[in-house]
Amino acid sequence: MGIIIKAGSIYKCGKYILIYDRFNGAEFHYAVFNQNLDYLYSFCRKGNGPGECLMPTIVKNQDSDICFMQDHGNDNFYRFSLNDSCAEFIGTLRLPTSGIDFPFEINQISQDRLLLKSTSFNKIRRQLWNLEQITLIDSLPTSFGYENKLKEKYHPEYDDFWMTAEDQKFMCAYFFEKCIEFGKIDKDRLKIVRHWGSLETKDLHWFEADPPSDKYKYNSYYNTVYYESTASGDGSFWAGYAGVPWGELDMHHSQIIERYSLDGIPEVKYELSAPVETFIILDNPNRIIALNPDIYEDSFMIFPL
């Protein structure tokens, strides 16, 4: 992967693999690879012009070779058509800022539906959007009561989650909670159907350093990170389990990958030979393709299944 100087997140888009390049001096945000892991080209130029992006994030779980991404720098959504030689800019879409705060974990459910995580300073929600009518269809809070329990001390990091979706079903794996939820989209309504772990709120270390004489007691870096990544593929949901304090996550990324059916039934727990930060699932042959820039800044990590 010599063309990539600082590899970040990894995504699957149709038959292509996309790698986010974290190098500040890079001309483009993303590099494109085929499933043989051969580098093809880079695209999504940095900037404010047509087809350029400031802070893009790829929409997850796209089955076609149409790459859909959202730019946090200007709130636009962009579409690119990928082929073996280039990414052709197709067009722009913008969701109303009044109905959505800050979108993360954006999943494509169908050609006209997006499931995403909407975050602000005092709330976090799962939202289903209609892309044709540009309207919010349904919204679902987390199953924890931190907003009411903590009030002015609340921060969305406390019940933050990773989310992935496939076939009108979704999985949410929590950052600071040892809990995974499984849901479905039923007649355009978001419903939780199963969970593993506790849904009770717990005492957390706050962000503020209070009191000064014992500042580390309340440092949020002491909170345990349970799940740090999710993926879907091969007809299953996958979650990367860490189980270490937030302040140690860079040194101890996930070495355990949990596999669940789309209905939330546990299937397999994989213990990898090396820790990974972010990963995707490929088939023919079945394998985990992962990244851990803290160990291998310019290399793929491949784990056969």
| Count of CB atoms situated within 10 Å of the CB of 107 | 21
DSSP β-bridge partners for residue 135: 130
Which of 133, 98, 137, 132 lies closest to 116 in space, CA to CA?
A: 137
**pLDDT digits 0-9 by tens, 268-298:** 999 999 999 999 999 888 999 999 988 887 7
Task: Give per-residue pLDDT as tens, 148-202.
Answer: 888 887 888 888 999 999 999 999 999 989 999 999 999 999 999 999 998 887 7
pTM for this prediction: 0.89
**CB-neighbour burial class of residue 94 (10 A; exposed 0-12, middle 13-18, buried 19+):** exposed
Fold assignment, 99-304: Neuraminidase (2.120.10)
The two tokens of residue 158 are 């406390």
Cα–Cα nearest to 183, from 197, 199, 163, 198:
163
